[in-house]
Amino acid sequence: MYQHPAKRLLDLVITIPALIALAPVFAIVALLVRLRLGAPVIFRQPRAGLGGQPFLLLKFRTMTDARDARGALLPDEQRLTSLGRFLRSTSLDELPELVNVLRGEMSLVGPRPLLLHYLCRYTPEQMRRHDVLPGLTGWAQIHDDNAFGWDQRLALDVWYVDHQSVWLDLRIAAITVWNVLMGEEISQAGHATAEEFKGSWAESRAMEEMA
């Protein structure tokens, strides 16, 4: 697990000016979230980083804390607000992750950071996605990963690990910016949040049952 100095330098050269330039956007979004959803404005969730080590992923909050009569949280689709849908469709909810990049917990480009409890569900090959820092965007994301199953997405992550370079990062970043400007959503179609990864064996069995 080795992070090339040029990659870290590129992260800082882009992230620091971006945080300064986007400060007004941060302020406006934070105000809207505070007025529409209340506190907290920032959603923090443990995710798996480099080597599978946990870190707190930062995002603007997009869902309410609405609960049913038993006190359990309602499904994500029911808690996602119109403001939340807008923030996700424009990727504005991801802006606080630039702070994760500044801290060195993430890179601009790399496999997306996933939930900690997925770690025990990866194959040894899939686990190699954690040999690099997670990223705001990645090789799987620019290949329309909404149309792929988990096995395909994770295979693309591992491909990135084996072929990473500054030029590849620049290519992925450019395509990501274009996709955002074109209004392409990152979340899975029909899902407020990404479908749970239950392990490759579970996905294979589900595909066999559908055949």
Global pTM reads: 0.86
- pLDDT at position 188, please? 44
Contact 60, 42 (CB under 8 A): yes
Which residues, listed in sequence order, are joined to residue 44 by a DSSP beta bridge? Answer: 58
Which residues, listed in sequence order, are joined to residue 107 by a DSSP beta bridge? Answer: 135
Q: Which residues contact 10 (CB under 8 A, 6 or more apart)?
A: 108, 166, 169, 170
Q: Which tokens in the block code for residue 80?
A: 């996602």
pLDDT higher than threshold 80 for residue 204 = no
Q: Where along the chain do its domains lie?
A: 5-210
pLDDT in tens, 30-74: 999 999 988 899 999 999 999 999 999 999 999 988 787 777 777
- pLDDT at position 179, please? 84
Contact 108, 137 (CB under 8 A): yes
The conformation of residue 187, written as its DSSP 8-state character, comes to S
Q: Which tokens in the block code for residue 137?
A: 């965007």
